[in-house]
Amino acid sequence: MVATLMTDAQILLAIGQNASAAQILSTNTDIWGAMAESDMESVAGNSVGLVANYATIAASYKQWLALVGSHRAAFYAINQDPNSWQLATAQSKLNVIDTIWQEFKKRILDKDVIDSMGL
């Protein structure tokens, strides 16, 4: 399954330099992208339908969703093989990803954000 909210290239950029062979494998990025979308859908709520209603989402929010989704997918990639980097680098990457994720969780529950997205 190919992700709707983000591309493989965006996921690879979020994973970052020195990714392992497993982390850059398209099959894996597809899986992590699907997992990220599932996480985003579960936080937003089924009634929002981020993936199902993607075509109606305002363009500026599509980029935000791609950023969040690609970093959420990178979270799974980094945790699958954290030995690609020194521990401090892996932890730094995960801290950035967590910050993006926490902000998404806070903002996506705001009805004004949902309305602004066109959903």
Q: Which residues of 16-54 are buried (b: 16+ CB within 10 A; e: fewer)?
A: beebbeebeeeebbbbbbbbbbebbbebbeeebebbeee
Q: What is the pTM of this model?
A: 0.92
Q: What is the pLDDT of residues 46-74, one digit of tens each?
A: 778 999 999 999 999 999 999 999 999 99
106 to 18, 53, 97, 111: CA distances (angstroms) = 31, 21, 14, 11
Contact 101, 71 (CB under 8 A): yes
| Residue 94 and residue 39 in contact, taking contact as beta carbons nearer than 8 Å | no
The pLDDT assigned to 10 comes to 96
Q: Is the pLDDT of residue 17 over 90?
A: no
Averaged pLDDT score across all residues of the chain = 92
Residue 43 pLDDT:
95
Q: What percent of the chain has pLDDT over 70?
A: 99
Overall size of the chain counted in residues: 119
Per-residue pLDDT tens over the stretch 74-84: 999 999 988 88
- Res 45: pLDDT: 86
